[in-house]
Each structure stands twice: as C-alpha cells, then as structure tokens.
Amino acid sequence: MPGAAEDTGIEASLPGDLYKEARHPLEVVRRSLDNWSDAELGALAEGMHRAGQDFARVKAADYKGDDLFDLARLCSFGQDWNGANTAAIDYVSSRAEEHRAQAYAISVNALVRMNAMDLAVETEREMLRKLPYDAEVAYALRDMKGSLEEASNPIAVELAADEHTAILEALAQGIPLKATHGEAVIGLGELYESAMQLAFLERYYGRNEIAETTVAEVQGALPATAALPAEDRQRISSVTARYRLLGMHVPEVKVVRSLQSVNAKAQIDQNFGSATVLVLFPDWCATCRRMMKTLTEFAVVNRDTPIHAYGLVFADDAVLVGQPAREKNFKEMSGTQTVVVPAATTEIFGATDFPTGIVLDGTGTVRFIGQIPGDAFNGDSYIGKVIVRMAHEEGAITKDSGNAVGPAADKQ
C-alpha cells in the first residue's frame, strides 16, 4: 500500500509510545459503562441527578459567553437534550469563538438523541462550512457518520463525501490534527480511519468503483514520510486489512471450543445460509457477553431464512489474567451461539474496537465489517438492517426473506 500503509521503520521505543501502549487495555475497558464498577455507576447517576436539578432552576437567556457554554454542557450531562441544544445554539449564535466547535457538537449530539436526524445533519454541515476543519470538527463528523450508519441512513455517504476534501487536506499535513481552541487532538491513525469511512460506506451501498477511487485518494493523502507512532501505524494497518476483506471470501477461523453446550461441535457452519453474522470480541467485554443472548435469539428468529449468527470470543491476557475469571465469563455465555477462538483472530479481521461485526452473504463473502453497537441484535436491529441493505444492493438474499428482525421485535 502506498503512502500511509508503508512501514516507516519507526519502532515503539520512545517512552511516550510505550506509555500509550501500556495504557491502551485500560482505556479500552473504560470506554464502556458496562465495565464500570457499581460505585462508579452510582457516582455517575448521582452526578446526572444533580445536573438535572441544577438546570431545572436556570434559563439559557440568563447567561452568555462561557457561562452559556457551561450550561449547554450541564444540560447534556443531565440528558436534557432540548435544553442542551437550546443553550448550544444560543452560544453558536453569539459568535463567541472559543467553544464554538464544541457547542456545535453538543447541539448535534442532542439532536441525534432527540431523533431529529435531518436537523442534526444540517447542523453538522453548517459546522463544516463555517468553522476551520480541526480536531473538534473531525470528531463531531466521525460520530455523526457513525450515528447515521447505525440508523442505516444513506445520508451518511453524502455527509462523508462533504467532508472528504477537508479530511484529505488534513491528512496531507502529515501531523496530528489539533483543535483551533482547546486541547483536543486527533491522531493520524484515527483521522485516516475516519477518512476511510467514506470508502466503506460506498461499498455498503454498491458503489464499488467510486470506493476504489476514494481509497486511492486517502492512501495518497498521507505523506510516506509522516512520522507515525506505533498506535497510528497499527490503526492504519487494521483499517486497511478490514477494507481488503470486503468482497473476499471469509478467511478460515480456528474454533477452539463451543459454549453452546458440552456436546456442541466447535465449528462455524460452512453452509452460510442466506447470510451469516460473526461478532468478534475479547472475554472482558461485558457489553459483548450480554449481546450473545440476543445474537442467539436473532439466529433462532431467522432460522427459516436461514440467517446464522455466531459470537467469536477470545482470551485477552493483556486485560484479564487468570483462568477462573475467564471461565466465569465463559459460563455467562453458556447456551449461546458463541465459540472460543484464538486471540490472533483479531489480526485476521483487523479488529481494534469491539464488538467487531462481520456479515457474510450466502457464498461466505464479506459484505460488512466494523464495530457494531451493543444493541445490534435488539428490536428493529442494526444487523437486520445491514442484511436487508446487503440483499437489496447485490441480491444476496431475496427481498421477501431479507426482512431480518431482532428478537425483541419478534415478541411484540
């Protein structure tokens, strides 16, 4: 791969690189509330309760400047989305510069939470037009593209295309992108991954030739001379590996054991049915472990199609040490469509964030790969929408059999 994918020869020997690598497992665990202790969750709930009491006594019209921005943050923390949006837009309208990008981001998040997706996209586009393309803008757009994709909203492709020129110009600088105001920084690895979102989305919607052009532009944007820390090189390599799997037959996955039952065969059915879904995750991921029940129910609901689904759990010794703790987590998933796989499976699928979902068509060809939400198999499920989209774009399954539903929706 030209440019960014080439190995610069720089090893992770600097103290800063080593420190980041050492902290990575802890930071990954902390990203999900499911991994927080009862004490931490209790403190969060108390803080949100206090925020609710506080913003109930104040009005946005009474504040300006930093105080108005702080009110927007307070409302957002307390999940008063209407109040957060009002305060954030008032701050933006005041033309104050210091927190303007963050205020836009708060507004967009609030609108998404209120399911006002069209207005959220409009606000995001205004942000892209009116503000310098910096770390705050890049993060906000990345999150919005993710929210639109989770909603199976094709506007995600248009928004990513709107951002494309700006993100290529940022990559071409060959240095991390910083916030115009504040301390936010987005590394080249994350920026590269966000730029590649457009190519993935184009593939998901059947625009394969356009996607190849996008990939070439992203690959060529980052200078080959860019000094990439080990973390960035790994992320770029992983996203490249994931993209290369699209349209390819799924690689062979070694299965160590099945958690469905003592007598269950440790295998993934090579008859892929109309579609097969794989969910790869480490044993410490509480959200992922809980997903296995709804994943199994999803497979049962769709067995006549048939659509298969398997959880692929691996032991992550960097986070969880000790066989008793591991077996306890495995026991939590007993009776589900979960198999244990080697940790090296993450390298096969370029997985860096979890749960990683892989959707295969009836021939075993990879048609989707990426991080999925914790409720991906619930109700009007995200995975069901991915399968229906796959069917409509390339005819992997018939339209009638493609109405994959989640277990919650089936029971209503």
Please indicate, yes or no, if residue 152 is contained in any of the structural domains: yes
Write down the pLDDT at residue 32: 62
235 shares its domain with 261: no
296 shares its domain with 360: yes
**Is the pLDDT assigned to residue 45 strictly greater than 80?**
no
Domain of residue 343: give its range.
257-411
CATH of the domain at 123: 1.25.40.10
Residue with tokens 């999900």: 32
CATH of the domain at 276: 3.40.30.10
Write down the pLDDT at residue 294: 97
Tokens of 85: 């949006």
Q: CA nearest 275: which of 293, 302, 246, 313?
A: 302
Task: Give the residue-averaged pLDDT of 237-260.
Answer: 97
Task: Give the residue-averaged pLDDT of 154-176.
Answer: 98
Q: Which of 245, 267, 288 is the last residue of a domain?
A: 245
Please indicate, yes or no, if residue 10 is contained in any of the structural domains: yes
Using alpha carbons only, what angle is made at residue 107 by residues 104 and 111, rounded to the nearest 5 degrees?
Answer: 140
**Is the pLDDT assigned to residue 34 strictly greater than 70?**
no
**Is the pLDDT assigned to residue 1 strictly greater than 70?**
no
Please indicate, yes or no, if residue 397 is contained in any of the structural domains: yes
Chain mean pLDDT for the chain:
87
**Is the pLDDT assigned to residue 215 strictly greater than 90?**
yes
Residue 393's pLDDT band, with cuts at 50, 70 and 90, is: confident
* Cis ω before 306 (30° cut-off from 0): yes
157 shares its domain with 23: yes
Write down the pLDDT at residue 37: 62
232 shares its domain with 312: no
219 shares its domain with 311: no
Please indicate, yes or no, if residue 156 is contained in any of the structural domains: yes
**Is the pLDDT assigned to residue 126 strictly greater than 50?**
yes
361 shares its domain with 285: yes
Q: Which of 38-42, 178-182, 210-214 has the lowest mean pLDDT?
A: 38-42
Q: Which of 194, 216, 245 is the last residue of a domain?
A: 245
Higher pLDDT, 380 or 89: 89
Please indicate, yes or no, if residue 216 is contained in any of the structural domains: yes
**Is the pLDDT assigned to residue 346 strictly greater than 60?**
yes
Q: Which of 216, 245, 274 is the last residue of a domain?
A: 245
Please indicate, yes or no, if residue 83 is contained in any of the structural domains: yes
Write down the pLDDT at residue 62: 74
Task: Give the residue-averaged pLDDT of 197-201.
Answer: 98
**Is the pLDDT assigned to residue 27 strictly greater than 70?**
no
The H or E element that residue 49 is part of is helix 38-55
316 shares its domain with 201: no
The H or E element that residue 277 is part of is strand 275-282
Question: Quick check: 316 and 203 in contact, CB under 8 A?
Answer: no
151 shares its domain with 272: no
Work out the percent of the chain whose per-residue pLDDT is above 70. Answer: 80
Inter-helix orientation angle 208-221/155-172, to 10°? 20
Write down the pLDDT at residue 29: 61
95 shares its domain with 189: yes
238 shares its domain with 285: no
Please indicate, yes or no, if residue 252 is contained in any of the structural domains: no
Task: Give the residue-averaged pLDDT of 332-350.
Answer: 97
Write down the pLDDT at residue 40: 62
Task: Give the residue-averaged pLDDT of 275-295.
Answer: 95
Task: Give the residue-averaged pLDDT of 86-96.
Answer: 96
Please indicate, yes or no, if residue 251 is contained in any of the structural domains: no
**Rounded-to-integer distance, Cα 244 and Cα 236, Å:** 12
| Structural domains of the chain, count | 2
210 shares its domain with 268: no
240 shares its domain with 265: no
